[in-house]
Structure 1
């Protein structure tokens, strides 16, 4: 489904746990953000791509990020601190306009604060109780060059997130990390809202796989609720994927937002819930006819063909079971089987990292 959307021109933002989309991302030359020890996850919220502008929304998202890194969850920020950060950002971007040799990133922002902005605060006679800049610099020091997280906000590649049509945020290795998960969650939220508001007349979708459980835990439940209520107004779609319906029920905020605002429901084989399907039926508001259709999935498949069945229901108006059959090339692209993923990677490397050529060659060999 995601591949079809992409081929129709949709901007796809995917949040995943489990590397399900690496193959497809490689095939379409998308951006793949994940955390590995040798190649940690990197962003650059300070960078403004050609054609983009530093608007109020961009400034607010950077301030929200800086405040989240500076203050604990239970700490409230003062109005004076908010104003000081606004002034700091405005001064920083004015400084960038005067010196094009400086690369916009957290490192240069931090340098600006300690070298220029501190003097400006003194000149304006700003007291520490109004904005403790020394405390701010100390707390954010780990994100500056040489700090523990100096890679996080200083990316020099994969910067044009607004115009990149296929972006995957893989949270597998950071889903329990209090700092990295918070930063990534904020960046995902800011990115998709930016796409929603700035890409006029362009379809955009955000698909949150099992990762939504980690995100909702991190205070993002309200954002998910906001998404499902507003995304359609901006020619967008929000999609949530889960293997356990109980996961949705466990969050009352998310439960109401997702169930009440999802006219399209797609269900795969529910055989293991055969004897307790009544709960799912009630939660999803399914009719008796739809229940019968869903429980018929994969019960009488044609043994001469390799396919799986899927139920698609559109707002209780149209409900059908469809056969889903993909080519060998597609199967190799989507497969999450480790041995198959390794083989695809090896074949792609034979063609200089070109996944399309590598998959085509592997498929020819398997058929032969």
Structure 2
């Protein structure tokens, strides 16, 4: 068949309006963007469908909309980012990434909406018919009506006339059943009760009658793996062959429809032999009642699937499975194949209305909209851009997700602080490593306090500093030494302020060195107060406001004395202890509180940290290992071997945070500074640490830092008041990996984490239906109440670096030390592929 004879286009105007030959229609073409699949709640679907019905109603009567979804088979191909130079290691992993994912098949979708004003004429007098219609008014009415859809995440983008006329336009895309920009249209044949486009046979299945609808009650959505999806989800991405889906809704004159109903009712009553038409009469009455009750319009609806580019037997099998899963009764089209194919031409959907009583079902407009696909997969992003590479759940295709910056710009979150939670082996540290790698490559400084042994290999890969604290590696610190207090202007700190004055450590005054120095002194005093609390308080003991005031006053007097008398060079714990022993009783007497504070007991609790005592090495000198951390961009302090020693564990963790404070204070505000605390949060979760953590959170915010807290011990994590107040309330991003072991007792977690019902379903759906033969785990990232699920999958070479299982790490480390990162990870990957243990 010569296509020039069947193209139904009379003219495309300068405004992009398509004037059609069939019934003299005016049509406008839109590219359509919709919410991401698996992200909408039941209430979201209800709002989306009701909003779309309002959109349809606003368009008026004698309007037809044709939604057309193309699902093409693609092979994934990563296009490398050559805009910046890569290190050898970066280039190695980029190659591994391409080798792992390239040529992975998936269905890529494109969605269009054609809105047509239906005329009453046939194919003559087209220009006369619309001589009195203002094109601008018609287009503007559609655009104004489309504003309703935006709050539901549906965006209609008008296709300009230039795009409608160029190669690869929607018309040639349909005729060729191909996404390529092919100028020559393929031949179409309708011989032998079949449809051929070029050399491809196209199988058409349709839903065009009420008797094909599911017998169960249909809602706004259905469930797939406990998650709400479109009622037509089975005919979208789940249909595993290339296909085109055509969905039509025609809203006729409602007066004419009601008259048609009455006439049909009268006819059936006249020939109602022995009640043979009672059921049909009842259905008409129910339809009218539903229209009135729900304030809906009556509409004609048609749905068809055109499957191609696959073995016919596979198409039959997959389409029948889709119909079976959906509950719709299948109908393979043969006699009306030409009508349906021609009606599928963009802007020619009105052709269906010529045979609407045979090819279209009569439904409420609300029901018709509920039988539309109103969701899409993540957009293709095969070019390496800013963000972390995560994968979609359906095909495992990677794309770039900006977890931190874009959500902040969009107003989804108030801060970039993050909590990562899962059960044991759920993938939390693996996911964190992937996020940190992205941050590092984008110039971030990473500082990890790790009690889980999860960052040894990534630190090695980035040539970072890895400090292990155990009996054989005793790191020493001197938090009492403040070099800036040797400056002459530092003396003004103690003449301009009194220790009782409130001081906001987030305040910054670039004009005053005194103010800046006072701020830095307050920061260090907060650290030292945290250390003193750990020294003198037992587990579960709280620190009173009175005691905090004493500690603060003591520290203030100590630094005041050493600064004014130029004795800063000798500051360390021994010096502080001696000052306390010599002056604390006098200070208490001056304040009249010597009977309210047991200073002898206080000194006794401090004594183990003096030189010569059991912990005397800890606070009296800066270790050479920590003197040059300023320029290092990846630092890990491993405290996993001292977790059982609560005293040491807490002090080292507080000192590590102080190192982070010192480091980030020197960095520009626009540089990302991540403080990662993996299981080490236990060191600061006790009640006595409340004051320290409250101030620490302010410090991190002041310097533009970002915290990442990671835990698998959720019961302890959420039961700590300090964690709830200082960490959970100040973290806008919550990442959930596998939470299977908490399913039976999720309610407490849900309450503390402020998880919505919708996000709970997403979290509970993780890893329920993973693709066969693929090794990955899923995570749900919640930006406040916006939650999306992604697959976390990397090549095996990268898995070698992110591995957190201690046994596996110990296999890889000797390889790394002998051969380096690249060869060690390559050997590890090859061993897995070859099943060598």
TM-score bracket relative to the smaller structure: 0.7 to 0.9
Greater displacement, 34-43 / 191-200: 191-200
Give the corresponding residue for 2:774: 305
1:182-261 equivalences under 5 Å are 182-201=650-669, 202-217=671-686, 219-228=688-697, 231-232=700-701, 234-261=703-730
Q: Could you list the per-position Cα deviations for residues 288-309 of structure 1 after superposition, in whole angstroms to 9, with x for gaps in the alignment?
A: 3222222221111111221111
Shift of 1:176: 4.1
Higher strand proportion, which one? 2
* 1:266 to 2:722 alignment: no
Q: Aligned in 2, Cα 1:301/1:105: closer, same or farther, shift over 3 Å?
A: farther
1:175 to 616, 634, 643: 643
Contact 1:293–1:321 (Cα < 8 Å) also in 2 = yes
Give 1:89-238 correspondences, 5 Å limit: 89-90=562-563, 106=572, 129-130=585-586, 146-153=612-619, 154=621, 155-177=623-645, 179-201=647-669, 202-217=671-686, 219-228=688-697, 231-232=700-701, 234-238=703-707
- In structure 2, the CA distance between the partners of 1:306 and 1:181, relative to structure 1 (3 Å rule), is closer
Computing the radius of gyration over CA atoms, which structure comes out larger, 1 or 2? Answer: 2
Say yes or no: does 1:358 pair with 2:821.
no
1:279 and 1:336 map into 2 onto residues whose CA distance is 28
1:99 corresponding residue in structure 2: none
Q: Which position in structure 2 is the counterpart of 1:122?
A: none
Could you give the per-residue CA deviations for residues 36-63 of structure 1, whole angstroms, max 9, x where no partner exists? 222223334467899xx99445555279
Cα distance, 1:213 vs structure 2: 2.0
Alignment partners' CA distance in 2, 1:144 and 1:169: 24
How far does residue 259 in structure 1 lie from its aligned partner after superposition?
3.3
Deviating more after overlay: 274-283 vs 233-242: 274-283
Change (3 A) 1:47 1:348: farther
Question: Which is richer in helix?
Answer: 1
- 8 Å CA contact 1:34–1:171 kept in 2: the answer is yes
Q: CA deviation at 1:85?
A: 2.1
- Residue 285 of structure 1 corresponds to which residue in structure 2? 754
CA pair 192-177 structure 1, distance change in 2 beyond 3 A: same
The structure-2 alpha-carbon separation of the partners of 1:142 and 1:25, relative to structure 1 and needing over 3 Å to count, comes to same
2:532 pairs with one of 68, 72, 79: 68
- SS of 1:5's equivalent? helix
1:339 aligns with 2:807: yes
Asked if 1:323 corresponds to 2:323, the answer is no
Name the CA distance, whole Å, in 1 between partners of 2:726 and 2:806.
Answer: 35
What's the offset of the Cα at 1:279?
3.6
Q: Which residue of 2 aligns with 1:86?
A: 559
SS of the counterpart of 1:345? helix
Equivalents in 1 of 2:583, 2:733: separation in Å?
55
Deviates more, 1:203-212 or 1:255-264: 255-264
In the alignment, the residues of structure 2 paired with residue 308 and residue 338 of structure 1 have an alpha-carbon distance, to the nearest angstrom, of 19
Kindly provide the CA deviation profile for residues 80-117 of structure 1, in whole angstroms up to 9, marking residues without a partner as x.
Answer: 85455215643797675xxxxxxx884xx858999xx9
1:322 offset after TM fit, Å? 0.4
Structure 2 Cα separation of the partners of residues 331 and 193 of structure 1: 31
Q: Deviations over 1:11-33 (max 9, x none)?
A: 22222222122222222232333
Q: How many residues align?
A: 346
Deviations 1:222-270 (A, max 9, x none): 4434455664453222222222433233122321343333221111122
2:625 match: secondary structure:
coil
Unaligned runs of 5+ in 1: 97-103, 118-125
Q: Using a 3 Å threshold, how does the CA distance of structure 1 residues 71 and 157 change in structure 2: closer, same or farther?
A: closer
CA distance in 1, matches of 2:471, 2:553: 39
Q: How far apart are 1:212 and its partner, in Å?
A: 1.0
Equivalent pair of 1:14/1:208 in contact (CA under 8 Å): yes
1:367 Cα deviation after fit: 4.4
The superposition leaves residues 185-223 of structure 1 with CA deviations (integer Å, 9 ceiling, x where unpaired) of 331332333345432222112222222123212733444
Higher RCO by CA contacts (8 Å cutoff, separation 6 or greater) = 1
Structure 1 residue aligned with 2:475, among 10, 19, 41? Answer: 41
How far apart, in 2, do the equivalents of 1:113 and 1:248 lie? 35
What CA distance in whole angstroms lies between the structure 2 residues aligned with 1:161 and 1:283? 36
Distance change >3 Å, CA 71–CA 42, structure 1 → 2: closer
For residue 448 of structure 2, give the secondary structure of its aligned residue in structure 1. Answer: strand
Which one is further off, 161-170 or 20-29?
161-170
Higher mean C-alpha deviation, range 254-263 or range 141-150: 141-150
In the TM superposition, residue 343 of structure 1 has moved relative to its aligned partner by 1.8
Alignment CA distance shift 1:339-1:72 (3 Å): closer
**Superposition TM-score, scaled by structure 2 size:** 0.36
Q: In 2, Cα distance between the equivalents of 1:220 and 1:80?
A: 18
Task: Give distance in 2, aligned partners of 1:159 and 1:187.
Answer: 13
Q: 1:209 to 1:92 in 2, by over 3 A?
A: farther
- 307-316 or 213-222, larger mean C-alpha shift: 213-222
Task: Specify the alignment match of 2:93 in structure 1.
Answer: none
Which whole-Å CA distance do the structure 2 matches of 1:290 and 1:200 have between them? 36
Q: Supply the distance in 1 between the matched residues of 2:697 and 2:552 (Cα, whole angstroms).
A: 31
Aligned to 2:196: none
Q: CA-atom RMSD, angstroms?
A: 4.2
User: Please, what TM-score do these two structures have when normalized by structure 1?
Assistant: 0.75
Paired residue for 2:423? none
Match of 1:276 among 735, 742, 745: 745
The secondary structure found in structure 2 opposite 1:158 is helix
Q: 84-93 or 166-175, which moves further after superposition?
A: 84-93
Which residue of 2 is the match for residue 10 of structure 1? 444
